[in-house]
Amino acid sequence: MKTVFKVLFVVFLFGLVTQGNCQCAGASAITVEQTKTGQVVEGKPQWSVTVTNTCLCTQTNVYLSCNGFQSVENVDSSILSKQGDECLVNSGNPVQKLTFTYTWDQEFPFTVVKSQVSCS
């Protein structure tokens, strides 16, 4: 009886994996961490932002909330492009781990709004 249970369990798990049911919960699997770099630009501290996909699946079209975001230094638009109240990360391409900097008086409260999960 134990052997039958083990075989059924393995078949069940294999089915979940091959059907793509082991996907992450999308945006909740993206983390945003910030630290001061120690640099000062135009009298304001520079911040380093790291956006990380903690999911095994690929995530594309990652959007951060960025209503009111400002920086005295330019942020490469291929890394972070403002689109209304949201910012598209990495031009919509897959995000595994990406870092960018900006300079402002205080840390901006970036939060993940949405992303697209693709498991194969």
In this prediction, residue 113 carries a pLDDT of 96
pTM of the entire structure? Answer: 0.78
| CA dihedral over 89, 95, 96, 98, signed as positive or negative | negative
Residue 49 lies in a domain: yes
In this prediction, residue 118 carries a pLDDT of 87
d(CA 61, CA 47): 23
Neighbouring CB atoms inside 10 A of 105's CB total 10
We report the CATH number of the domain holding residue 76 as 2.60.40
Residue 75 lies in a domain: yes
Contact 103, 41 (CB under 8 A): yes
Residue 62 lies in a domain: yes
Residue 71 lies in a domain: yes
Instruction: Tell me the pLDDT of the chain (120 aa) as tens digits.
Output: 544 444 333 333 333 333 445 567 778 899 999 999 999 999 999 999 999 999 999 999 999 999 999 999 999 999 999 999 999 999 999 999 999 999 999 999 999 999 999 886
